[in-house]
Structure 1
């Protein structure tokens, strides 16, 4: 696990300043505190920060072939590198190290751009081929590892593992992208491929980009997608057995490391299943860790203890203060752009705890997207069932006005909180799902933004992100479609971003077996009813885990990492909220309707409405702006 940076002259062979490459590289020191190096030649500069995990003695980067004309910087792990090494040796390539990085060097020599199809793992890669005058870049299929890039006005192309590495280049324009702002306040993060800056982008998961000297920078090309191609008829018994074997194999290939290795254990289904597989593959006790909360409503450590006791893991639990709001400004530094998932706080703490004992940790991330574990899938399917029985025109005519005029009743029992449901039913599946997952509704964003800012958007809406993905979807099954939308937006933009930055802040490598692309491909081919059966999400996964985990672990209500935002904003952060939302930093941008900001603050702090999620998103946007202004 590492951090990478690079500069590439698309117009020729201008000198690259080694001091600038080093400065960009050092912004990511936390990603690789063990070693660091830079390399420059006319037209090309590479930087690398290393967290030594495999081939500690000789896996340094940037790494070149024997001829010195193919060089690589790489962040991640290639789990099938031993098999690829054997295949490449049979083709005549000679290896000088035992590292997965050298496998990429020779894979490029052997197969060119097609090498990405051979790689099984998490990766962000840049390959310089001097003979072809080409820079090739690729990001892993699920987006576990990040990759940022920008084409500068002077023809220099820069890239890095974090946005802060690009910001260290003086040529990067810092103009904020209005569409990214609209998307942030809808999703709570800026979805791929945008960043908060007009001039910088994220390489989307499963995409590659080839830049050649003297040619315009092309659009990235997709090399993989989740297939959602149904298998031939399979019994539930066969599916359960094969799922266990495939998960065990995905876990097994992630256990190779020359440093201490363990797992996160929350007590939820996914992390517990991963630990169960690890315990069956390890002679020694598995190192596991979890965090407990002082407030029992947020605490599920007892379930983690139960699994730890069952599998005799070497388990540690650390209790954190529920009022752990001191990290607010730290988060702005970590994420480099606005990011509004408040569970980043406990995620940061559990990574901090894990790093005290291990350098590599396996996690259960990805199970909900893969196997339909979120409650919102259940709600979306119930809404779609109603939609399918009513003609489009009648649906919009009936539910549109109901959604518009029905009062929003957060305070009322759930049965009376129908406004969101009515609004969703008036829309199609994609727009309805977007509406259901949005941090702020269309109507709220309309009130949040100033008239001038909305005019600048020229009618652009964040729903276009999901519409774009839906148009390319390989499936038209409703459940598979919303899973696909999450795999393209929420999973890389929120979940994997959160884990990458929180773990790398502590130089901790996190491996994600449930997002092994071969496992994802296979699970996507299961019938939707094996994933969501009635009201039971992850149905086939839970059934397959029954021999390994207790009924209480498998079928209890999902909790997740929650923090008490509503109470914070009425209590210890009351003044911070007022200063941030009502102060000059936001007002001076011209983006916001300051009257609505004041209304949100007053209504929330008086207890009349719960605006905790919108206030948190604005608070994190303001923290980003202050950091940006201080940097300027």
Structure 2
């Protein structure tokens, strides 16, 4: 895991020492991603510079340093991530006895360069199994190739800088260039207010973009502003392939195959020359990853979790029970308001475009705890999207089946009635009725979910219902008068695979929007802020492709998702330790905004400040804040989105 950056800058400033200095300046802005070393490359015959910050994971010697030159001198590579099958590729390359032999070291980066030499860029790219973002300069063809892994674990931004182009792992790298113009994109801001993140390929700036997962961008040195990415792998095509070749065995056979596949993936991902552990929440995904790790480790796996003083959000006891059963070396941190107060002002620096998934706070804190002990951690990220684990995957179809035929007026009145009770009253009612409720109705934070459901009842189609369930501000135009919100994937069914099942359509949209835009961005920034590498076994593309061959009945049954993962997990961990209402990585932002964060929030959201800024309409923000502080509504997520934008704007604009 590292930080990469670079540029193509035609003209007199894009030469020699000046180019090297700019490449170094960009790389230094990413120093937190790679504290173990740095390097730059400036081509003596072309206006191309590359920068690298190193977090040493494999081959800790100088033989693993970057930018790295290929054996023939044609290719120069900077790489962020890991190629998990590099030993297999290395053995295959050795049989061909290419010009790269003998090997200079033991890094996956050197194997990547040899693969490019032997097979060409696109063929090699399709052979890689891993998480990665890389820049490969081809000196012979004078082309810079940028690529991102299939599911989007590693980030890569690119954009215009003067009369050239630049790229970096984070926007900080682009902003380090004097020729980059950080002009705010109001349409991207509208999307952020809806989704809590800026969806790909957009960024918060007009002239900067995210390279989509599974895409390759090839830029010629003589045409650096011609930026046209193309896919080398597509989840849409993988889904269609799975539908065309469904798994025909029994559920037991599917579970056995998946357990073997996941076990092999995890064994490869445990390869590291530095200490390694696991993030353990005690839920299905992280418990399964940890169980399969422990089965392959001769010593107790180091596991990490955090808890909260507020019981409704605390999962630390669940994680501790799973850790005790598996025999891991477990550590945990209890988060207090003081932790949050110390961290909240640093969020705009960590997430250098607006980002408002409130679980960014515990993710950053558990990353800091983990980094005190290990340099690499495995996570359960991707399990919900791939194996139908979100509550909406089973509740949304049930809701739609019940309400879609009701007149809009009746739906509106039902929503108003649901909002009569404040969230705290719902929570108290569910606590009282808990012992007599069916398991499927025992949810954590029911008040927030009831109000979220009320907001979704106005939907006219299943896709509109999904979009509302994923929305923070369902009408961003209320805050941004005159700004048109662009279409995104939920508005473009013509781009989807051939899916008729509502749940599977939600899974696909989650995997192509929410997963890379929110979950993976959150984890990357939180872990790399403390130079911790995270790895996600569920996002190995072979696991994803197999999951899409399975019938929906193996994923979701009786209002419960991840059926096949549960079947595997129950072999390793008793059912009673892991079967409980799904929580997610939530935190008590609602209470903190009324308590320790109140003065901070009131100051950032003051009407005078909003008016002076001239971007957001103060009236709806003030109304939401007033209702939340009075306890009439739970507006924590809407308010957090505006707060995160305000804090970001104060820092960067």
Category of TM-score, reference length = shorter chain:
over 0.9
Give, in angstroms, the shift of residue 301 of structure 1. 1.5
Provide the C-alpha distance between the structure 1 equivalents of 2:346 and 2:607, rounded to a whole number of angstroms.
Answer: 20
CA contact (8 A) 2:190 2:477 kept: no
More deviation, 187-196/431-440: 431-440
What is aligned with 1:294? 309
Match of residue 375 from structure 1:
391
**Paired position in structure 2 for 1:164:** 172
2:515 to 491, 495, 516: 491
The counterpart of 1:242, out of the listed 221, 233, 257, is 257
Q: CA deviation at 1:371?
A: 0.7
- In 2, Cα distance between the equivalents of 1:257 and 1:236? 34
Work out whether 1:44 is the aligned partner of 2:48. yes
Counterpart position of 1:26: 28
The DSSP-based 3-state class of the residue aligned with 1:588 is helix
Q: What is the distance in 2 between the residues matched to 1:469 and 1:146?
A: 26
Partner secondary structure for residue 271 of structure 2: coil
Residue aligning to 1:103:
111
Q: Is residue 122 from structure 1 mapped to residue 122 from structure 2 by the alignment?
A: no
Q: 1:197 aligns with which of 201, 205, 213?
A: 205
* Structure 2 CA distance for partners of 1:315 and 1:384, relative to 1, 3 Å: same
- From 378, 386, 396, the counterpart of 1:362: 378
What are the residue-to-residue correspondences of 1:200-349 with 2, within 5 Å? 200-215=208-223, 217-226=226-235, 227-228=238-239, 229-230=242-243, 231-322=246-337, 324-326=339-341, 327-349=343-365
Paired residue for 1:568?
592
Q: Matches of 2:173 and 2:459 in 1, distance apart? A: 44
Q: Matches of 2:13 and 2:642 in 1, distance apart?
A: 44
Instruction: Give the 3 Å change call, closer, same or farther, for CA 486–12 of structure 1 in structure 2.
Output: farther
Task: Quote the Cα distance in structure 2 between the aligned partners of 1:591 and 1:32.
Answer: 36
**Shift in Å at residue 112 of structure 1?**
2.2
- Out of 590, 604, 607, the position equivalent to 2:631 is 607
The 3 A distance-change label for structure 1 pair 523 and 37 is: same
Tell me the equivalent position of 2:477: 446
| Cα distance in 2 for residues equivalent to 1:12 and 1:372 | 54
Q: Is the 8 A contact 2:68 2:77 kept in 1?
A: yes
TM-aligned CA deviation for residue 447 of structure 1: 2.7
Q: Check whether the contact 2:415–2:455 (CA below 8 A) recurs between aligned residues.
A: no
Q: Distance in 1 between the 2:91 and 2:150 partners?
A: 23
d(CA) in 2 for partners of 1:609, 1:333: 30
Scaled by the length of structure 2, the TM-score of the pair is 0.89
- Deviation, structure 1 residue 431: 2.1
| Residue from 578, 597, 604 that aligns with 1:580 | 604
Over residues 541-598 of structure 1, what are the superposed CA-to-partner deviations in whole Å (9 max), with x where a residue is unaligned? 1012211111123321122222222222222222222211115443233222212222
The TM-score, its normalising length taken from structure 1, stands at 0.92
State the 1:528 CA deviation.
1.1
1:63 match: 68
Runs ≥4 residues deviating over 4 A: 10-13, 403-407, 413-426
Cα distance, 1:423 vs structure 2: 5.1
**Quick one: distance in 2 between partners of 1:197 and 1:418?**
33
Partners of 2:277 and 2:364 in 1: how far apart? 17
Q: Is the 8 A contact 1:149 1:202 kept in 2?
A: yes
Q: Secondary structure at the match of 2:503?
A: helix
Following the alignment from structure 1 to structure 2, what is the Cα–Cα distance between the partners of residues 399 and 35?
63
Instruction: Return closer, same or farther for 1:102/1:10 CA change in 2, 3 Å cut-off.
Output: farther
- Residue of structure 1 equivalent to 2:80: 75
Residue segments in structure 2 that go unaligned for 5+ positions in a row: 427-445
**1:597 equivalent among 600, 621, 629:** 621
Name the residue aligned to 1:431: 464
Shift of the 426–438 alpha-carbon distance from structure 1 to 2, 3 Å rule, reads closer
Query: What is the CA distance between 1:349 and its match in structure 2?
Result: 0.9
Q: 2:395–2:559: 8 Å Cα contact kept in structure 1?
A: no
Whole-angstrom distance in 2 between the partners of 1:127 and 1:10: 18
Q: Is the 8 A contact 2:161 2:177 kept in 1?
A: no
* Distance of aligned partners of 1:515 and 1:407 in 2 relative to their CA distance in 1, 3 Å threshold: closer
**CA contact 1:470–1:481 (8 Å) conserved in 2:** no
- Alpha-carbon separation, structure 2, partners of 1:255 and 1:290: 19
Displacement, 1:379?
1.7
User: How well do the aligned residues superpose, as a CA RMSD in angstroms?
Assistant: 2.2
Aligned length: 611
Q: 1:419 to 1:141 in 2, by over 3 A?
A: closer
Matches within 5 A, 1:388-403: 395=405, 398-403=406-411
Are the counterparts in 2 of residues 410 and 610 from structure 1 also a CA contact under 8 Å? no
Summarize the Cα distance change of 1:291–1:420 in structure 2 as closer, same or farther, 3 Å threshold: closer
Segments of structure 1 that go 5 or more residues without pairing to the other structure are none
Change (3 A) 1:307 1:182: same
Q: Is residue 54–residue 99 contact of structure 1 (8 Å, CA) maintained in 2?
A: yes
CA drift at 1:59? 0.5
CA–CA distance in 1 between the matches of 2:584 and 2:38?
A: 36
Q: Secondary structure at the match of 1:239?
A: helix
Equivalent position of 1:352 in the other structure: 368
- Residue of structure 2 in register with 1:176 after alignment: 184
Q: Please, which of 521, 526, 534 is the counterpart of residue 558 of structure 2?
A: 534
Provide the rounded CA distance (Å) in 2 between the counterparts of 1:613 and 1:206: 31
Residue 419 of structure 1, CA deviation: 8.9
CA distance in 2, matches of 1:515, 1:87: 24
Counterpart Cα distance in 2 of 1:323 and 1:382: 41
CA distance in 1, matches of 2:560, 2:65: 47
CA distance in 2: counterparts of 1:378 and 1:399, whole angstroms = 23
> How many Å separate the matches in 2 of 1:469 and 1:164?
34
Q: Aligned-pair distance for 1:191? A: 1.0
